[in-house]
Amino acid sequence: MHAFIVFRLYGPLEAWGDIAVGEERPTTSHPSKSAVLGLVAAALGLRRDQEPEHQALRDGYSFGVRVDALGVPLRDYHTSQSPKSTSRLAHLRSRRDELADPHNRTTALSTRDYRCDGFYTACLCRREHEQAPTPEDILDALTTPRFTLYLGRKSCPAALPLSPHLIQADHLVAALDAFDEAEAKDQRGEFVKEFLSTALRGNPQYYWEDDLPAGIQPLHSTPRYDQPLSRTRRQFAPRTEHYASSKEA
């Protein structure tokens, strides 16, 4: 048996970052490991410069996710102003004051992609690692987070409680099934039931990494660059991600 922490992710806007070059800020169709671990770290109250704690969280848990509803893509043409130089702005109290001088102002342009109304069930599986937070600590943190949680970008708050559960199961699919059974008994979940009845729930898609027991055979495997190496330097390493669909497996 393995210890799984299972929770849901839903919002009107989500952004699961892909490799970003220049002005393009794309998103993938399902949550990245870096985004989910970042969300858990925020719930635990970790700051970006606490590298040992972030590494312990990364090494202590393997990641899987079920796509219940893909949502639809949205593209935003984004503009952002900032001062050219900050060396002489220490006396100013607000961003409005910083941008008041038109000669010390620049505009950055970018194209940012989002997913609208995507619904996902994320899963973390405990590995043997002495320094990693315990599943109970993560469960408590996701229930009462220290920092505000968002789904990939700060403009993407979660629209539903995460409803985390700690589940003992043999593999990923069994843990997700047990989560569904527990949620079905929750009288507060009427919106979730109605939403999923018209979504992709009849043919969910599963994604997981190498050492997570899945309970389902992969259809294919691809590399994904979302293994966090350094939060302060925003560096990521590749990992292998497996995919399966319940109707095709």
Residue-wise pLDDT for 42-64, tens only, equals 999 999 999 999 999 999 999 99
Which numeric CATH code is attached to 2-245? 3.30.70.2660
pLDDT-derived band at 89 (thresholds 50, 70, 90) equals low
pTM: 0.85
Lowest mean pLDDT of 43-47, 81-85, 178-182, name the range. 81-85
Q: What is the per-residue pLDDT for 106?
A: 80
- Residue by residue, DSSP assigns the chain as -EEEEEEEEE-SSB--B---BTTEE-B-SS--HHHHHHHHHHHHT--TT-HHHHHHHHHHEEEEEEEEE--EEEEEEEEEEEES--TT-TT--SHHHHT--GGGEEEEEEEEEEEES-EEEEEEEE-S-TTSPPHHHHHHHHHS-SS--BSSSTT-B-SS----EEEEESSHHHHHHHHHHHHHT-GGGHHHHHHHHTTGGGS-EEEEETTS--SS--SEEEEEEEEEEETTTTEEEEEEEEEEETTT-
Query: Which pLDDT value is given to residue 199?
Result: 58
